[in-house]
């Protein structure tokens, strides 16, 4: 046992937490997901049914492409473009990825957006947990109110029990 601890204790570490990617890595993964959706759309236009997940939608004159589903922009208010072909959608996604990799201000905007979303999520979680905490706090009070004091057998027999009225 001691040789085991001596051998491995120097390599001790904390487990990585799920979802610890930074905002830029997450954005890269989302762009890759969008490119996969685009390839799926191009392969079978008629059968494509994942429009709710895509950043691109059919628009008059071609395709409208948003920069993620969040309210962020790529600078100077640019958060939506209309392009004519799927090739231009792919080109826009590639350029957006390059922008995310190289532009520090855009990376900062991604981090701020992630922080804002996390704060909203935590607020929502706190609101849903609050009633459960209040209910748990009330349970001991109800338990105290329902505790009965021991009553002697003679007194208990004299008092009528609550319940249904006797039939006449």
What average pLDDT does range 68-77 have in this prediction? 81
First to last CA, the chain: 81
- pLDDT above 80 (res 157): no
How far, in Å, CA of 38 to CA of 43, rounded? 9
What average pLDDT does range 121-134 have in this prediction? 74
DSSP 83: E
The angle subtended at Cα 97 by Cα 96 and Cα 103, nearest 5°, is 80
Give pTM, 2 decimals.
0.61
Position 58 confidence tier, pLDDT thresholds 50, 70, 90: very high
- pLDDT above 80 (res 66): yes
């Amino acid at each position: 046992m001691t040789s085991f601890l001596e051998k491995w204790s120097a390599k001790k570490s904390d487990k990585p937490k799920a979802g610890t990617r930074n905002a830029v890595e997450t954005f890269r993964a989302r762009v890759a997901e969008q490119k996969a959706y685009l390839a799926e759309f191009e392969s079978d236009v008629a059968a494509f049914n994942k429009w709710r997940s895509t950043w691109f939608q059919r628009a008059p004159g071609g395709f409208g492409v948003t920069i993620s589903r969040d309210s962020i922009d790529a600078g100077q208010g640019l958060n939506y473009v209309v392009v004519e072909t799927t090739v231009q959608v792919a080109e826009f996604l590639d350029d957006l990825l390059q922008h995310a990799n190289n532009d520090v201000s855009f990376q900062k905007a991604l981090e701020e957006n992630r922080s804002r979303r996390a704060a909203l999520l935590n607020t929502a979680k706190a609101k849903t947990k609050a009633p459960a905490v209040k209910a748990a706090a009330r349970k001991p009070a109800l338990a105290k109110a329902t505790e009965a004091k021991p009553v002697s057998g003679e007194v208990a027999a004299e008092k009528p029990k609550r319940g249904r009225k006797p039939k006449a």
